[in-house]
Amino acid sequence: MLMFLKNFLVRKRAGMPKSKAKSSQLIIFEDGTLYHIDLRRSDNMPHNVLLVGASDRVDLISSHFDMITFENRNKARPEFHTIVGIYKDLPVAAMSIGIGMGPIDIAVNELHALFEYDHKMDSWTFRKKPRINIIRVGTCGTSLPEVSAGALAISSHGIGLDNLGAYYPIPVRERDPLTIKIEQNFLRTKIGTINPLAYCSPASPTTVWALRKSAEALGEGHNVVRGITTASPGFFGPEGRQIGRLKTAFSSGDFRKIIQSFNVNGLKIINHEMETGILFRLGHEHLSYNVGAICLVIDNLATDEVITGDEAKEKMNVCIKVALNSLVAFSNK
């Protein structure tokens, strides 16, 4: 009966022609549908979004909703999958976009257009800047021996090991001193000399606070680590994983030593994944959205500890609850 009620009001997009796209700059069809995320304003996308990489995690998140009201998957690009619903009286969306920096670049740009561009008037609504809350929910690794697999990592900053941030510069006068210090110190490391375009961007402090408070309310405060996240443009080479005959610029041992010794004002690099750097650069620094990230640590590069299967799923459900409750906390402020 509960599942029936949760799905009773589900609205799915009819497969109607979208007609010709309007522009090569922002590819948007005449009905307002954005090319990649396959959403339009009339879909009533809520301003509270949990962003994930894998599409099956969208289904897992939506299992926590009290009601599902809308679902859409891009048939041509199925990694873009969105389910909208209600959680504790709050409209929320779970959205998958695929893995890595490129999909984040696409998703944030098109969500920005979805929320702030009126395709009928062909104009941006900059004077009515909406309050948007975006939290990335994902998995990650760590190089710190003291961080156990199964911990929840909340990102205060993201260090992008890619070069995408260079295409979205932030004037120095608009950056906070701590972020600049983290970036400058990292660029002095061996990784920074190999890639001098690495960059650092902060999460929204409000989001970091909400995630921590939500974890504590669920009795998970002891299982939370907060600090800096590295976001790699690849899974293997950027973290020193040498596979077969493929040689990398540094070894996994070199990578761990750099990470374990890095400390700026008490902030350590607590985890590694592939998205937060550019998410924070675009979503928070450029657009001033409330943006953050919480990831389940599934492996430890220093101890070789790994969690999988039912244990990982159970802990991911906790991670999801923390993120959802954080969105509720925003709405109550």
pLDDT digits (tens, 9 = 90+) for 279-298: 999 999 999 999 999 999 99
Query: What mean pLDDT is predicted for residues 22-40?
Result: 92
Q: Is residue 158 scored above 90 in pLDDT?
A: yes
Shortest CA distance to 143 belongs to which of 304, 312, 316, 266? 304
Judge if 105 and 160 occupy the same domain.
no
Q: Furthest-apart CA pair in the chain: how many Å?
A: 59
Mark whether 143 and 122 lie in a shared domain: no
Last residue of a domain, one of 66, 98, 130: 130
pLDDT at res. 333: 67
Do 36 and 92 belong to one domain? yes
Same-domain pairing of 97 and 147: no
Looking at residue 181, its amino acid is K
- Tell the residue number behind the tokens 């675009």, with chain if given: 282
pTM: 0.94
Using the 3D structure, point to which of 104, 130, 156 is the last residue of a domain: 130
Q: Say yes or no: 332 and 193 in one domain.
A: yes
> What domain range is 77 assigned to?
1-13+20-130
Where is the domain boundary, 82, 114, 130?
A: 130
Please check whether residues 113 and 154 belong to one and the same domain.
Answer: no
Q: Is the pLDDT of residue 256 over 80?
A: yes
**Tens digits of per-residue pLDDT, 100-120?**
999 999 999 999 999 999 888
CATH assignment of the domain containing 75: 3.40.50.1580
- With 90 as the cut, is the pLDDT of residue 129 above it? no
Comparing 23 with 306, the larger pLDDT belongs to: 306
- Could you give the percent of the chain with pLDDT greater than 90? 86
Q: Three-state SS string across 108-156, please? A: HHHHHHHHHEECCCCEECHHHCCCCEEEEEEEEEECCCCCCCCCEEEEE
